[in-house]
Amino acid sequence: MLFLGLGTGLGSAIVIDNVVQPMELSHLPYKNGRTYGDFLRQSGLDRIGIEAWRQEVANVVALLRAGLVVDYVVIGGGNARHLGAPPPHARLGDNANAFDGGFRLWRDANVRI
């Protein structure tokens, strides 16, 4: 599973065999001399407009799903609400799950806060 967090920036993580691996996909080159983050973060939405941004999200989901060979993509973050329907092979995640998952990671790692 690939997670993409659409917000002020572009967050990303992949889950393989129940192991979460944070990633920095935002910095990878995408097109026209720009990165994935340049298109999918808030400033990209502001620059290209909602309809073009939705299409870019769909394009990036398809490319990353194929390139990383994941079964599906979960999209979350504050700007996920602007998508309407998610792209094929993607679903919208509930941001409340991010908090629950974070707390479980801390608890299971025996980390003291």
What pTM was estimated for this model as a whole? 0.84
30: enclosing H helix or E strand: strand 29-31
Instruction: Please give the pLDDT value at position 106.
Output: 60
Those residues of the chain that have pLDDT short of 50 are 111-113
User: What is the 8-class DSSP label of residue 110?
Assistant: T
**In a 10 Å sphere around its CB, with 0-12 CB exposed, 13-18 middle and 19+ buried, how is residue 45 labelled?**
buried
Instruction: Please give the pLDDT value at position 113.
Output: 46
* Residue range of the domain that includes 98: 2-108
* Residue 16 lies inside a defined structural domain of this protein: yes
- Tens digits of per-residue pLDDT, 80-106? 999 989 999 999 987 666 656 666 666
User: What is the 8-class DSSP label of residue 109?
Assistant: T
Which domain CATH number covers 70? 3.30.420.40
